Structure 1
Amino acid sequence: MDGGATPPVVSATPPEAAAFLLVGLLGGAHCLGMCGPLVSVYADRLSDRAGTESLTLVHVRQHALFNVGRALSYATIGALFALVGGLFFGAFDSLATIGSGVRATTGLLVGTAIILTGLGYLVGRSAALDRLTPAPVTRLFGRVSGWATARVDRLVGGPRILGLGAIHGLLPCPIIYPAYLYAFATGDPLRAAALLGLLGLGTIPTLFLYGTLLGQVSARRRAVLHRALGASFLVLGYIPLSHGLMLLGVSVPHLHVPFYQPLG
């Protein structure tokens, strides 16, 4: 075995996978606020090209490609965050005490951030979470969104609509960013890609139905889904938080979900 500390490859556990999929399923209602306008634009373009507003196989294919592009971008960016996390933790693993402390602190910070996000949704303050996005990020979102909207006609009719969906992985989102933090805490790119991919797949039903059939989701129903989303974030945030506490010697009930650990 070489002297460099590397994290063992750990597949996503059932509690993790269930939590990420649930966040995606419930978070689809929030995604309508960000992705909905762009979905409406390209859905209208598809209808114009097809010469009908009725659902056709072309509509289904293009909406599916758009959403697959989103899921792939989430998975790719999640893997990159995990790769950076693995390098970050590995830099401290030559000193066991410091390495353990860094991982504990990361678990506490990441878990707390995710839980606070969950509380924001749970108490109906999700709009306040959007306002926490730094102004430069908001401006960048405006530019990216404007660029995508201006090029919808070029992208909507063929496989390049995958790229239109992939752009969403870069947009500010209080659902995706906590998930990226979680990916960073795992330090395992493959595992993070699987988890973020699941989250992306979970959002597909709502956005797909919105783009093809529904057109809108009532504010009351969206509020109910937001509260349920908040509860699922509490569960997700507790996983790294409890891991951090355990590393500090604080015994708490916890799910058996491994986080970054060097090979001995």
Structure 2
Amino acid sequence: MNVLNLLPVFLVGLAGSAHCIGMCGGIVGALSAAAAPRARPVIAIAVARPAGADKLLRVLAYNGGRIASYMAAGALAGGLAGGAANLLRLAALQVAFYWMANLMLLALGLYLMDAWRGLARLEAAGGVVWRRLQPLLKPLLPMDSPLKALAMGGLWGWVPCGMVYSVLLTAMLSGSALQGAAVMLAFGLGTLPTLLALGLLGARLRAAAQRRGVRVAGGLLVLAFGLLGLARAVNGLSLGWLDALCVTGHP
């Protein structure tokens, strides 16, 4: 799997990052609101970092932890699925996963456009998981240090999310733990610009990204990737240069 194959996955993350604002907006907003640690006057010439620099470090740490958890999940999915396929040689199972991955992209595209809310059940499950985890996360709140933000991001990356699960199916088809981690890294990097900006700009970006036009544009892009994948799956159809734009590799 080369960089060109990972570009569509990156674009899915980028296009779907408006959804990330709804899913992760609260926790990223908490990073913005957290008080920066006070400088300790150890020596007279000590200079405190600007408040903006502290906020940036916390936001980077949170997103680093979040993407690391995505990569761990991708490595697990790719390694287990690749090992099972090599052991059992079940080509039919690989084809089934390929169809599932692209159908999930269709569902995600429709969800982003608010045309179909079937994936909302996963988001509701995420809310339940978050409420149960909150008592365990008290030591990490407030997230007033990069270390706390890193730990919170690492935990938050495991909260159920329809968009993450859609791409995890692609990681399963990658064939190995390393490639599965690379798929999820590309996806996480795609979501990074929006969530970095959200952590620094807060409510101003949230209002802009939640506009219907933005969500529809992102949903249409993800929908197009899913349709390309399904078109390629029909009778093993090759789309020529468009094959490079398929998010999931053909089994």
Q: Give the TM-score taking structure 2 as reference length.
A: 0.79
Comparing 132-141 and 195-204, the one that deviates more: 132-141
Does 2:200 match 1:212? yes
Paired position in structure 2 for 1:251 = 237
Q: Which amino acid aligns with 2:106?
A: I
Query: What amino acid does structure 2 have at the position aligned with 1:74?
Result: Y
Is the Cα contact below 8 Å between 1:115 and 1:237 reproduced in 2? yes
Distance 1:45 1:251 in 2: 52
Match of 2:99? 108
Inter-partner Cα distance in structure 2 for 1:114 and 1:142? 28
Distance in 2, Cα, partners of 1:80 & 1:60: 30
User: Identical aligned pairs, as a percentage?
Assistant: 23
Query: Structure 1 pair 138/79, CA: closer, same or farther in 2 (3 Å)?
Result: same
Is 17-26 or 72-81 further displaced after alignment? 17-26
For structure 1, the 5+ residue unaligned runs are 1-10, 94-98
1:234 alignment counterpart: 223
Separation in 2, partners of 1:259, 1:23: 15
Pick aligned residue for 2:2 from 8, 12, 35 = 12
Please give the per-residue CA displacement for 1:7-58, whole angstroms capped at 9, x wherever unaligned: xxxx2341x32222222223222111121111222321234x459xx84212
Q: Calculate the aligned-residue CA RMSD, in Å.
A: 3.0
Asked whether 1:139 is paired with 2:128, we answer: yes
Shift of 1:176: 0.8
Q: Which residues of structure 2 form unaligned runs of 5+?
A: 40-49
Structure 2 vs 1, CA of residues 135 and 225 (structure 1 numbering), >3 Å: closer, same or farther? Answer: closer
Residue 147 of structure 2 corresponds to residue 171 of structure 1? no
Q: 1:182 to 1:13 in 2, by over 3 A?
A: same
Query: 8 Å contact 2:62–2:151 — kept in the other structure?
Result: yes
Name the CA distance, whole Å, in 1 between partners of 2:124 and 2:210: 30
1:240 Cα deviation from its structure 2 partner = 5.0
CA shift in 2, pair 1:132/1:154, >3 Å: closer
Q: How does 1:142-153 map to 2 (within 5 A)?
A: 142-145=131-134, 147-148=136-137, 150-153=138-141
Aligned residue-pair number: 237
Q: Which amino acid aligns with 1:237?
A: G
Alignment of 1:177-216 (within 5 A): 177-216=165-204
Cα distance per residue 1:160-208 (max 9 Å; x no partner): 4211111222112121110111111222222221121122122222222
CA 21–146 in structure 1, closer or farther in 2 if over 3 Å, else same: farther
Aligned residue for 2:147, secondary structure, equals coil
Moved over 6 A (4+): none
